[in-house]
Amino acid sequence: MKKIGFYLIIALIVCVVLAILFLFRPVASKKMQVNIKETTLDAVLIGGGIMSATLGTYLKELEPNWKIRMFERLDQVGQESSQGFNNAGTGHSGFMEMNYTEEKNGKMDISKAINVANQFEISKQFWAHQVNNKVLNDPKSFINPVGHDAFVWGDNVNFLKKRYEAMTAHPLFKGMYYTEDPTVIRSWAPLVMDGRDPHQKVAATRMDIGSDVNYGAITTQLIKNLEKSNNFQLSTSTEVTNISQNEDQTWSIESKNLKTGELSRIKAKFVFIGAGGAAVKMLQKTGLPEAEQYAGFPVGGEFLITDHSEITAKHTVKVYGRAELGAPPMSVPHIDTRYIDGKKYVLFGPFATYSNKFLKNGSQLDLLASTNKNNVLPMTKIGVENLDLVKYLVSQVMMSDEDRFNELRKYYPNAKPEDWHLSKGGQRVQIIKHEPGQPAKLQFGTEIFVSKDKSMTALLGASPGASTSPYTLLTLLETAFPEKTKDEWNAKLHEIIRSYQQDLRKNPKLLDETRLYTSAVLGLNYTTPVDLLNDTTK
């Protein structure tokens, strides 16, 4: 009870401080009026990460004559959440991520895993198309075949077995293996068995079609290709300072060059905010009533990393465990093979950190700046209602180096401290949403925002994020441009995504054909499941 009381006091202190800071924050002064000739563009993309890069690539193929401009506040693109060391690099397919499955009343609910797996199939088709069109380089520069293993011990063994039985009944997970044999597990992932108690009950599943993805490499390659067009302009070291809608329904975008101080203003017919954690703040600048329902809750992450040759040579998989009670979805422990810019690493984590920043390269005033009269009370209420999350974050922040290393030893018993170093990952901003007439809720998924007139769009939230970006941006296009996606863009979309408007979840034959195609182009490990092979040869 004392511990619960301690965490409750911490939560209340945070909420009170937040409320006080909001009430006494300085009132913004009037904006400087700058007389600058406005250029009208077809689209503006705010943020130079994988989301804007993916949407820009879609638009270039669908509307090659559109004039598009991208803004990035850093001096290079792909340096925030998309950057290799700022994320787990997992091609999320639901194969091993146990947080996508849940046991309810004795039955295993795998619906989230099915949806994520289906969405990643869209991603692979998008990337394969770009490789074939010489937009993306050698697939090994951004994606590599890495087995996906789920690994548990003790009481979680029964959970994993039920999960396996439920998942292998679905076409998306055909080819999954299950074992409780330590020898087999050692052959899949030697590190997790080296030094482990031989009497400990263990279990694992394996999917060979898994992958490791460098989203930063995809981002830079896509944007480099966009820059070949005279209709595209990239503005780095440039921060968007204000967004306002005009009477003709276009948007005025004001920006400042952070190196020269130069101010500029342009007009755009369509705007996409793909600014990672800063998307909440950017969306608030629009003044749209429907944007007032959002607030942000920032959570950072750290990883233990090694490039020790003996370790990286032995570990060739991604191994995901089961998250502790109260831990947010992005905190599932995993020990991963990573390929970043041509070099192999092994990464373990994440360990949650707390910061008021909405971006890794952001400001400690980000949380305060996003607080307003519409969201301060919902934010405070969320803090009080989610004591498990508060407790988890406090325990993570208070971890010592020894504590973190003991967590690693649960998955790699023979790990040596001198082989590993702690690396700060990216910032993620979970969405607090307060719709009229409904209680505020904390959301851990990805939220697509499209204004009522469909001219202002944004992407909010985190996991699964980058791995499903082609699917997410395709959904955004369908929402913002419903007539175009049904009519003039439809043929091109079928060319980019071969399975477009067909449900791979319900069509095993098409799923097999799609996986054979994308695996051949991207260099992934896939063979037709035996049962499907038998069906097709009858």
d(CA 428, CA 426) in angstroms, rounded, equals: 7
Residues comprising the chain, all counted: 538
pLDDT at 509 over 80: yes
Average pLDDT of the chain?
A: 85
d(CA 268, CA 246) in angstroms, rounded, equals: 10
d(CA 427, CA 298) in angstroms, rounded, equals: 7
Give the per-residue pLDDT at 364: 63
d(CA 348, CA 336) in angstroms, rounded, equals: 6
How far is the CA of 449 from the CAs of 55, 181, 252, 267, 452, in angstroms? Answer: 14, 47, 19, 20, 10
Query: Burial, 353: exposed, middle or buried (Cβ in 10 Å; 0-12, 13-18, 19+)?
Result: middle
Give the per-residue pLDDT at 294: 77
How far is the CA of 499 from the CAs of 1, 93, 122, 490, 495, in angstroms? Answer: 54, 17, 8, 12, 9
pLDDT at 158 over 80: yes
Long-range contact pairs involving 361-365 (C-beta distance under 8 Å, separation at least 24): 361/73, 361/74, 361/79, 361/80, 362/277, 362/278, 362/427
Please give the domain boundaries of the chain with CATH numbers for all domains: 36-92+109-495 (3.50.50.60)
Residue with tokens 């290709």: 225
Give the per-residue pLDDT at 276: 77
Give the per-residue pLDDT at 391: 67
The mean pLDDT of 142-149, rounded to a whole number, is: 97
pLDDT band at 373 (very low <50, low <70, confident <90, very high): low
d(CA 120, CA 140) in angstroms, rounded, equals: 18
For 163-316, list the strands marked E by DSSP: 177-179, 202-207, 211-213, 232-235, 238-245, 251-257, 263-273, 294-306
pLDDT at 271 over 90: yes
Give the per-residue pLDDT at 459: 87
- Tokens read off for 125: 């088709």
d(CA 7, CA 12) in angstroms, rounded, equals: 9
Q: Which residues of 161-194 are buried (b: 16+ CB within 10 A; e: fewer)?
A: bebbebbbeebbbbbbebbeebeebeebbbbbbe
Give the per-residue pLDDT at 10: 47
Higher per-residue pLDDT: 11 or 167: 167
pLDDT at 5 over 80: no
- Report whether the peptide linkage leading into residue 350 is cis, meaning its omega lies within 30 degrees of zero: yes
Give the per-residue pLDDT at 17: 47
Give the per-residue pLDDT at 534: 65
Give the per-residue pLDDT at 332: 86
The mean pLDDT of 77-93, rounded to a whole number, is: 85
pLDDT band at 328 (very low <50, low <70, confident <90, very high): low
pLDDT band at 361 (very low <50, low <70, confident <90, very high): low
Query: Burial, 364: exposed, middle or buried (Cβ in 10 Å; 0-12, 13-18, 19+)?
Result: exposed
pLDDT band at 367 (very low <50, low <70, confident <90, very high): low
- Residues 171-199 have pLDDT tens digits of 999 999 999 999 999 999 999 999 999 99
- Report whether the peptide linkage leading into residue 470 is cis, meaning its omega lies within 30 degrees of zero: no
The dihedral through the CA atoms of 449, 91, 222, 237 has a sign that is: positive
pLDDT band at 6 (very low <50, low <70, confident <90, very high): very low
Give the per-residue pLDDT at 48: 95
- Residues 93-140 have pLDDT tens digits of 999 999 999 998 889 999 999 999 999 999 999 999 999 999 999 999
Average the pLDDT over each of 156-170, 326-340, 351-365, 511-525 and give the range with the smallest value. 351-365
Give the per-residue pLDDT at 3: 44
**DSSP assignments along 255-267, one per residue:** EEETTT--EEEEE
pLDDT band at 472 (very low <50, low <70, confident <90, very high): very high
Give the per-residue pLDDT at 281: 83
Contact 271/69 with Cβ under 8 angstroms? no
- Tokens read off for 174: 């055909």
The mean pLDDT of 208-235, rounded to a whole number, is: 97
Query: CA dihedral in degrees (91, 96, 100, 105; nearest 10)?
Result: 170
pLDDT at 441 over 90: no
Strand partners, 449: 458
pTM of the model: 0.87
d(CA 431, CA 441) in angstroms, rounded, equals: 8
Phi-psi region of 371 (alpha: psi -120 to 50; beta: other; left: phi over 0): beta
- Residues 388-421 have pLDDT tens digits of 666 666 677 678 889 899 999 999 999 999 999 9
pLDDT at 362 over 90: no
| Helix 508-522 × helix 111-132 angle, to 10° | 50
